[in-house]
Amino acid sequence: MSSDDLTTWSAHALAEAIRTRAVTSEEVVAAHLARIDELNPAVNAVVSLRPEQALAEARELDALTARGLSLGPLHGLPMAVKDLMDVAGVRTTHGSRIYAEHVAGADSVIVARMRAAGAVFVGKTNVPEFGVGSHTFNEVFGPTRNPYDLTRSAGGSSGGAAAAVTSGMLPLADGSDLGGSIRNPASFGNLVGLRPTAGRVASARPGNAYDPGSVLGPLTRNVTDQALLMSVISGPERRAPLSIDEPGEVFRSLAPRPFEGVRMAYSADLGGLPLDPEVRAATEAAARLAAELGAEVVPIDLDLSEADLVFETFRSLEFLDGHGDDIRLHPELVKQTLKDDVSWAQSFTAELIVQAGAGRTRLFRRLQALFEDYALLIAPCVQVLPFPVEWEYPTEIDGVAMDKYYAWQRSCSRITATAMPALSMPAAFSSGGLPIGVQFVGPYRADRALLEYGLTWEAAVAPVMNRRPEVSA
């Protein structure tokens, strides 16, 4: 690609160019649509495309720009929304044959905020069925492939979003994260992915609104673009009881936060998890780099003994609540892993649920106490390299059998159980050219500080972050 290819520009550079009329929104949207036309048949990241409507909306925004007006920070930027989020008038399938022809009647909260900020919606991004599992495939659109190696998984459940951003089909994208659905595809795609504190990006979806497990956040090629999207999608929401009463503007004008003189805890395996040897080596190298940047990196034995119980209990309860009726009414149209999760929830006793709730409180307080002594926790983000796209999920890691379909992503789900925010950052590439990320975990509500530390890390690993995939159509 040439240096003037708009699909190589950062989101914040594109937004500024549109604002100053150096380029038009129509030109930016058209360039990304052309990139989608070129690469999406191979990658399969963007679904339910609406090119004519997107170009028409871009021209309307250009007319506003010509009058000196702007809707907001995303004015004129192309977006494709994760196919679990409703966009008014656009098909929202959840990757399920049950909802294959469902058209949303209204915008979700996150989409309404992006629309109000001037985003142009070109389509949706592919997801696993109902977002279940961290590998993106479904029977409506098929699998999403990793742009670094089309025979490999792009991760999930925000796999379509990650693959689209890393390959230049989108400048940035939204995602959601329960057990790693932002962080895992960010690692698989050499991207930045933030799992914010619950309530930072509010949702008005049905279900248990008091559960901090599932959150929304961005997937981007750099930290400044993270801050750009967070400035739009963050903010209080009266229908969300965990909503944080701070405006999105807190993410504007970030400054690098130095590592020098900062104490950082380092967990090599998050409580004894098996890791692919190349992932382990990359994580160890990341800890050494943090020390070279001036941090006091202290290896710790992190007590996450209750994390699996906490995460797996509340995960299954969420799926029982959200999809119990889908399974009851359409059992032949629902994949077995979701049926398993719901079946597990139906077997839970009241005592088990009470135990998980108390364990979640203890985990939260344990991590908050840790952050009285350390600014950050450095840990592996993923346990495996991007695996063959034909697999449903890895069944073993370094000789250790996985006991559940999501056990291979416990490096992410154990952090979810603590309720702490976490930032996935690029760290290295494997010997076979596959990306490996590292996870920085911060104190509750320290989302801005995480991104500021991310700016410092980004500068230190620039050669890794600048290594974009060369996708063959």
Q: Is 10 a catalytic residue?
A: no
Tell me the CA distances in angstroms from 289 to 260, 283, 440, one per residue in order. Answer: 12, 10, 13
DSSP string, 141-201: T---EETTEEEEE--SSSHHHHHHHHTTS-S-EEEEESSSTTHHHHHHTT-EEEEPPTTSB
Helix axes 25-43, 51-66, angle to 10 degrees: 160
Q: Is 157 a catalytic residue?
A: yes
CA distance 213 to 316: 11
Token couple for 264: 């950082």
The runs of H, that is alpha helices, within 371-439 are: 410-418
Residue among 48, 134, 153, 157 flagged as catalytic: 157
CA distance 247 to 237: 10
Rounded to 5 degrees, φ, ψ at 438 are -125, 155
Residue among 25, 48, 108, 181 flagged as catalytic: 181
Residue among 25, 48, 82, 203 flagged as catalytic: 82
What 3-state class would DSSP assign to 408? helix
Residues in a beta bridge with 153: 145
Is residue 400 within a helix (H) or strand (E), and if so which, with residue range? Answer: strand 400-401
Q: Is 472 a catalytic residue?
A: no
Token couple for 432: 């076979």
**Catalytic residue ranges:** 82, 157, 181
